[in-house]
Amino acid sequence: MASTPPTTPLDFPSIESQTTELSEMETPIVSEAPEVSTTGSPTTEIPISKPHPTITTDPHPADPNLIRSLILTEEVKQTLLAQQKLVLLVDLDHTIVNSTSSPFNVDIQNRLHHDLRLMTYSDKKITVKLRPNTIPFLKKVSKFYHLCITTYASAAYAKNIALILDPDQSLFGNRIYFRDDLGEANNKTPFLNQFFPTGHQIIVKIDDRADVWHHPENLIIVPQYEYFIKKRVHCDGTMVRYSNTLKTSTEEDTFLHKLEDILIELHKQFYERYSPMDMTLDVGKLIVNHKANILKGVVFYLMVRPQISNKNTAFYKLCYHLGAVVEESLTEKITHIMSFSFANFLGTAIEKFQTIPQIGPMWVVESGQKWERQHEKDYPPLKVNAELRKFNMMCNKLLTNPVPLPPAEMTRSYEPQPRIDSIIRGRP
């Protein structure tokens, strides 16, 4: 059994301050604030907690020695292995924080939690909402992981968020990789070769987007955290004001509790197997194995159109990716019948199959997103078929190797036709 790793962080050089003009964060980072009514509410701003001081320094001064301190060299990797630590690359926006530059209505401010922070960029105020349990999560996993920030945000924005998350630099230190470091837009992979030329087998990434990493095995996809949503749409298509629906599922978000358990378990598995003589051990393989246990023991029979159940589709591969087995025929081994519509399953006349759970496809997707098997009763077969291309895109986000999507004309919404297995028809 691996012993608990020491909590003492590596002693990296601190970053010297160099005053520069504060650049604003990039547009995609900022979400829209809720559109709310101000009737009967004062318009004066009330404090949201003590504002954090604004950083006006460049986190990466043009000092080669300091830049080299951000590179994971072979020496640093060996030190981490000796300390029984792995590396964790942490994305910011929509992963552990959500930000907005729009002002708040006082009624909404009164309903927010202590995880709300306020930053000031010259004449612009940025409100930052931490994902529930962010600080305890970072403190706990820092005992097992060497934490680094990777973000497409500007240097100033990233440094300010780091100040909120880690005011004494005990968690991330100076290990902040921002827009200029990442280089290519929508592709975080190339910067790894510059700053992490070694040690890829001990790196774990957490991000709400898989495409920017090109879907590597060592990525844990985090469900997108979006607190500042401008409007919501009721099921009847009507728009509703966000002020009446603000505090809902996002504040019940418990994913970081689950992620903490996953990361600690991965760390345990890695160092139980680790040997200085074995250079093949890769934490990415452990992540793949972990995913393959999420739906282990599930045997599906798919009652859907061919472009969904076909073995080359994203949904079909996702089932196997999570450890499930897909059968072509309805047999005694079937544990679940997957249907996109109640109309797709007309074989209930055969009594022995009536007790098999019939579930909708989102059961698979959300089990993958949340890294644990969900309750079947919450995912009945869909009454209306979703647009299939969009659904396949959702499945692709959870796959290491995405599947090319079929042409749009093949995946439009449709009224399902009954597809009944020959066993249900009573034919030989």
CA 203 to chain centre: 16
Whether residue 12 lies inside any domain: the answer is: no
**Angle at CA 28, nearest 5°, toward 24 and 34?**
95
The CATH number linked to 39 is 3.40.50.1000
Please tell me whether residues 315 and 265 are part of one structural domain. Answer: no
Please tell me whether residues 215 and 313 are part of one structural domain. Answer: no
- What is the pLDDT, as a whole number, of residue 180? 80
Q: What is the count of structural domains for the chain? A: 2
First vs last C-alpha separation in the chain: 55
Please tell me whether residues 360 and 417 are part of one structural domain. Answer: yes
Q: List, for the chain, all residue ranges whose pLDDT scores fall below the cut of 70.
A: 1-70, 103-114, 121-122, 230-251, 303-310, 340-353, 382-389, 400-401, 403-428
- What is the pLDDT, as a whole number, of residue 195? 85
Long-range contacts from 182-187, C-beta under 8 angstroms, 24+ separation = 182/150, 182/152, 185/152, 186/211, 186/212, 187/212, 187/214
- What is the pLDDT, as a whole number, of residue 41? 35
The burial class, CB within 10 Å (0-12 / 13-18 / 19+), for 362 is: middle
| pLDDT tens, residue by residue, 270-323 | 999 999 888 889 999 999 999 999 999 999 887 665 545 567 777 888 898 999
**Angle at CA 255, nearest 5°, toward 254 and 260?**
110
Please tell me whether residues 269 and 301 are part of one structural domain. Answer: no
Angle between helices 134-141 and 255-273 (to 10 degrees): 10
The CATH number linked to 332 is 3.40.50.10190
98 and 126 Cβ atoms separated by less than 8 Å: no
Please tell me whether residues 296 and 278 are part of one structural domain. Answer: no
The burial class, CB within 10 Å (0-12 / 13-18 / 19+), for 315 is: buried
CA distance 359 to 363: 7
Please tell me whether residues 218 and 364 are part of one structural domain. Answer: no
Cβ-based neighbour number of residue 277 at 10 Å: 5
- What is the pLDDT, as a whole number, of residue 30? 38
Contacts of 283 (CB under 8 A, 6+ apart): 86, 201, 202, 203, 204, 218, 266, 270
Whether residue 309 lies inside any domain: the answer is: yes
Query: Which of 317, 355, 315 is closest to 337 using CA atoms?
Result: 355
Query: Which of 209, 206, 183 is closest to 194 using CA atoms?
Result: 183
Domain that holds residue 133: 27-282
